Amino acid sequence: MPTLAIVGAGPGMGLSIAKLFGGHGFDVALIARSKDKLDELVAELAGSGVTAAAFPADIMDRATLATALEQAAAHFGGIDVLEYSPAPHTPVPGITMAGPLEVTVDNLQPQIDYYLYGAVTAARQVLPAMLEAGAGTLLFTTGGGSITPNPMMGNINAAAAALRNWVLNLNGALAGRGVYAAHVAISVWIGSNAPAGFPTAEADDIAAVYWDLYGSRDRAELEFTG
């Protein structure tokens, strides 16, 4: 069975992506900070007939993230698809949002750690095996501010844009080597309780674009606008 590893797995997008890929025959490795929450997701996926396992790790701790992916690959016999989506609505302690005039090195550095360094760490853990096999998929998620900046999120947008830039470069560097990388920018509010005037979409509808990208492998980037 092929294996999908989700870094930043949660009960929203992560669960929807896991169910969709799992329904197409994938085993699923779930990676996030809370073991208890991961265990809940594993149980829910089992109820849907999806085989999943939890590998707790903190994105901000690059060594534990690399270890979790190593353990996931050993458990399932490899990782065929990596999906990296740190959740901005449940940030790690110490991360704060700042507007452009309030951005400092101190409040930007944790965002760079969270978005860019975590993504690079995850990719470097799985890429060697993918390149050796000549097959694999890497999907990275940010908010729409990585493309069209939101003034409220000056430091978040800068870090997410750095991740986007790196993924677009990665896509080009991997061309012709059997491994595919793409960036997904989500420019909607997921679920209900959106701020007034903000477009919304359900997680299951957004998850479908990940399956489409996995199958088509025809673009370096997709922005979901609803």
**Strands of the 136-143 sheet, one edge to the other:** 52-54, 27-31, 3-7, 81-84, 136-143, 179-186, 221-224
Strands 81-84 and 52-54: unpaired
Q: What is the pLDDT of residue 141?
A: 96
Q: Band the pLDDT of 89: cuts 50, 70, 90.
A: very low
Q: Quick one: average pLDDT of 66-86?
A: 97
Q: What is the pLDDT of residue 93?
A: 61
Q: What is the pLDDT of residue 117?
A: 96
Q: What is the pLDDT of residue 192?
A: 64
Per-residue model confidence as pLDDT tens digits over 26-62? 999 999 999 999 999 999 999 999 999 999 999 999 9
Hey, what domains does the chain have and what are their CATH numbers?
Answer: 3-224 (3.40.50.720)
In this structure, are residues 181 and 220 in contact, taking their beta carbons and an 8 Å threshold?
yes
**Residue 12 scores a pLDDT above 70:** yes
Q: Which of 1-5, 120-124, 154-158, 191-195 shows the lowest mean pLDDT across its residues?
A: 191-195
Per-residue model confidence as pLDDT tens digits over 155-194? 999 999 999 999 999 999 999 999 999 999 997 767 666 5
Alpha-carbon Rg of the chain, whole angstroms?
Answer: 16
pTM across the whole model: 0.93
Cα separation, 85 vs 192, whole angstroms: 20
Cα separation, 123 vs 140, whole angstroms: 10
**Residue 88 scores a pLDDT above 60:** no
Give the residue carrying structure tokens 């493309």.
Answer: 147
